[in-house]
Amino acid sequence: MAVKPIPDGYHTVTPSLTVNNAAAVIEFVKKTFGAKEAEVMKMPDGKIAHAALTIGDSLVMLGDATPQNPANPASLYVYVENCDDVYRKAIQAGGTSIMDVADQFWGDRMGGVRDPGGNQWSIATQVEEVSGEEAMKRMSQMAPA
């Protein structure tokens, strides 16, 4: 039997975060998004060499930074059923607000937080289907004259 080129449960693109204090980021993601640990491999010193977490239908990989592979904060956009509730959970889980939840011109309601590892999480719920043309019109109306 041939080996699958993309493992079960993974998508063509899978975020992979290198962070300081991966254990804290894992706890943040579990408390905020209800993430489940698919796998966690620790180094002899207890730091996280590799972790795979499921958030909804997606996998996110992460691990602790090393001198050879330093932390590199990322930005992730996550769709959820109720962004207001998830945003509150993110703050309670130790996230720092970078943008209060508000309706956006492209049809999403969205807010943003920074996790304990410095990653930015945009938390969104689509509340309106907006065409590209309409989004551009709305955006142009927001721009200063």
Are 19 and 26 contacting, i.e. CB atoms less than 8 angstroms apart?
A: no
3-class SS letters over the chain: CCCCCCCCCCCCCCCEEEECCHHHHHHHHHHHHCCEEEEEEECCCCCEEEEEEEECCEEEEEEECCCCCCCCCCEEEEECCCHHHHHHHHHHCCCEEEEEEEECCCCEEEEEEECCCCCEEEEEEECCCCCHHHHHHHHHHHCCC
Which structure tokens are listed for 120?
A: 């930015």
What pLDDT is attached to residue 25?
97
Q: Does the pLDDT value for residue 27 go beyond 90?
A: yes
CATH architecture designation of domain 16-142: Roll (3.10)
pLDDT-derived band of residue 123, with 50, 70 and 90 as boundaries?
Answer: very high
Q: Where are the domains of the chain?
A: 16-142
What pLDDT is attached to residue 145?
59
Q: Does the pLDDT value for residue 32 go beyond 70?
A: yes
What pLDDT is attached to residue 143?
64
Nearest CA to 30 out of 62, 7, 72, 6 is that of 62
Task: For 68-122, write each residue's pLDDT tens digit.
Answer: 999 999 999 999 999 999 999 999 999 999 999 999 999 999 999 999 999 999 9
Nearest CA to 83 out of 110, 56, 105 is that of 110
Its pTM stands at: 0.90
d(CA 54, CA 103): 27
